[in-house]
Each structure stands twice: as structure tokens, then as C-alpha cells.
């Protein structure tokens, strides 16, 4: 990925990994648009980063995705990179109340259908650019699932698979496809406790390592930081069962 002169859309850009990626690219001189559902949170990001722009988007709403895609292409015709970062993660006690089903459906809508819908809406524009990039944010749980978060893990596994096939189909085009697979990182994805959990990778350290990998030439197809490698290669290394049980005990 050419790391300069881009116009980048970051979904889920109001906090956590999305916000920090947006801020780093913005500081490097790229044009950055953050998108999300919460206007107040988006405004706070823009206020802290003069020159950054924000647009409201609910990736779980198919009609809103189509409308958003038309609006952002009209407002930012130089758009050439999308970071699919929007996601939700909720525990699902499958043997308890059936209320978990609503959470499961919302997770699929946001984490899996959201990137697919937005890619479908923006791909004709990206294919017309001289160079472009699509980056998906998956998870180490795509490779070893968490029993507490079954649908989240499943959507990230599906997004990993979908990213692989998208990359292959676009191999002869100018659109690069890159996957970022975070480990457990200090964000508020599952609540405020996660942001201070000493077992989680500090967000600043994660972003710094991600950017160092993105800066490599050629850019790796998969951005896997050292803390995530035990998960990513668990099946190949014969450590899947042990890591699966360790995650279940957390």
C-alpha cells in the first residue's frame, strides 16, 4: 500500500483502533474521513484533529450504506482507501435466555454484512482509481474462537475468508486488499474494563506495530502483530486446542 497521498475512509472511526488509525494517517498528511453512528463522538474526533472530516454511517443499514456511498464519492472523488473497522462484540450465553439471538443478528449485520455492503457500493469507484486499497479489520479470534463471543468470532473468521477471496479476485486490478488482525487490545470494544486490562496489548503499541508493517514494501497481505501470531498460526503449529481452552477460561 502506498502510504502517502491517500483519501481514506475509516468506519468505526469514533474510538478505539479506528480512531487511532485515522489519527495516524491524518498526521501523515492523508485526507481522512471517519464514519460511525454517533455524531457526538465523531465531532469529538474531528475537534481533536483539525482538518479531519466525519460522516454519519450505520453499516448495519443497507439503505444507509448505499446512500452514504453515493454521498462520500460525490464529496470526496479522490477517495482511494477504505478501512473496514466498524464492529461490535457482545457476550452470548447460548444456554441462557434466547435474548442472545438479537445480539448475534446485530453482530452479523455490523461485522460481516457491513463490510460486504460497503465494499459492493464503493468498489466501482475504487476500481476506477489509479491505485486503491481495501483494508479489513478482523481479529485473532478469527483463527481461535472465544467461547464467550461465538458470533463475533464467527463473523471475523468469515471476514478473513471473504478478504482472501476478494484479494484473489482483485489481484489483476489496482485495488490492494489487506487484512489487519488485532489481538486482544486495550480498547473499549467490550466495555471500559478492556481499556485497562493488563492482559490486553496497549493500543499505542498495537498501532505503532501495525504502521511499521504497513510501511513495508511490499505491504504484507496480512498485518499480524507479534502478539497475534500465536492465534493466527495456532492450527499450523498444533497449539489450537490449548489456546482455545485458555481463551475459554478467561
Contact at 8 Å (CB) between 83 and 17?
no
Sign of torsion over alpha carbons 214, 42, 30, 167? positive
Question: What does the alpha-carbon distance between residue 167 and residue 171 come to, in Å, rounded to a whole number?
Answer: 6
Q: How many residues does the chain have?
A: 250
Is 144 in contact with 154 (CB distance < 8 Å)? no
Catalytic residue, candidates 152, 160, 207, 224 = 152
- The three-class DSSP label of residue 135 is strand
- Cell readout for 177 is 486488499
Count of beta carbons in the 10 Å neighbourhood of residue 127: 12
Enter the C-alpha cell of residue 161: 475468508
Place of cell 478492556: 194
Query: Are the beta carbons of 65 and 57 closer than 8 angstroms?
Result: yes
How is residue 171 written as a grid cell? 489481484
CA-to-CA separations, 165 to 103, 148, 178, 208, 227, in angstroms, rounded: 27, 28, 12, 28, 25
Which of 183, 245, 177, 173 is closest to 209 using CA atoms?
183
Written as nine digits, the cell of 56 is 454519519
184 is catalytic: no
Q: Can you read off the three cell numbers belonging to residue 176?
A: 490492494
| Catalytic residue positions, numbered | 152
Amino acid at each position: 500500500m502506498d502510504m502517502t497521498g491517500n483519501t481514506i475512509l475509516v468506519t468505526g472511526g469514533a474510538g478505539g483502533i479506528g480512531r487511532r488509525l485515522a489519527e495516524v494517517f491524518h498526521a501523515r498528511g492523508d485526507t481522512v474521513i471517519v464514519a460511525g453512528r454517533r455524531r457526538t463522538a465523531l465531532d469529538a474526533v474531528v475537534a481533536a484533529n483539525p482538518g479531519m472530516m466525519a460522516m454519519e454511517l450505520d453499516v448495519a443499514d443497507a439503505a444507509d450504506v448505499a446512500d452514504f456511498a453515493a454521498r462520500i464519492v460525490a464529496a470526496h472523488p479522490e477517495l482511494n482507501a477504505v478501512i473496514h473497522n466498524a464492529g461490535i462484540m457482545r457476550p452470548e450465553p447460548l444456554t441462557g435466555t434466547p435474548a442472545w439471538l438479537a445480539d448475534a443478528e446485530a453482530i452479523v449485520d455490523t461485522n460481516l454484512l457491513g463490510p460486504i455492503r460497503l465494499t459492493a457500493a464503493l468498489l466501482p469507484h475504487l476500481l476506477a482509481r489509479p491505485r486503491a486499497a481495501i483494508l479489513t479489520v478482523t481479529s485473532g479470534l478469527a483463527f481461535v474462537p472465544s467461547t464467550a463471543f461465538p458470533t463475533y468470532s464467527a463473523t471475523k473468521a468469515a471476514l478473513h475468508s471473504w478478504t482472501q477471496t476478494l484479494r484473489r479476485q482483485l489481484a489483476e486490478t489496482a485495488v490492494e486488499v489487506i487484512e489487519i488482525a488485532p489481538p486482544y487490545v486495550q480498547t473499549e470494544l467490550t466495555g471500559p474494563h478492556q481499556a485497562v486490562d493488563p492482559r490486553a496489548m496497549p493500543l499505542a503499541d498495537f498501532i505503532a506495530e501495525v504502521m511499521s508493517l504497513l510501511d513495508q514494501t511490499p505491504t504484507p497481505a496480512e498485518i499480524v502483530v507479534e502478539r497475534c501470531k500465536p492465534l493466527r498460526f495456532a492450527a499450523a503449529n498444533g497449539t489450537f486446542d490449548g489456546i482455545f481452552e485458555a481463551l475459554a477460561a478467561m
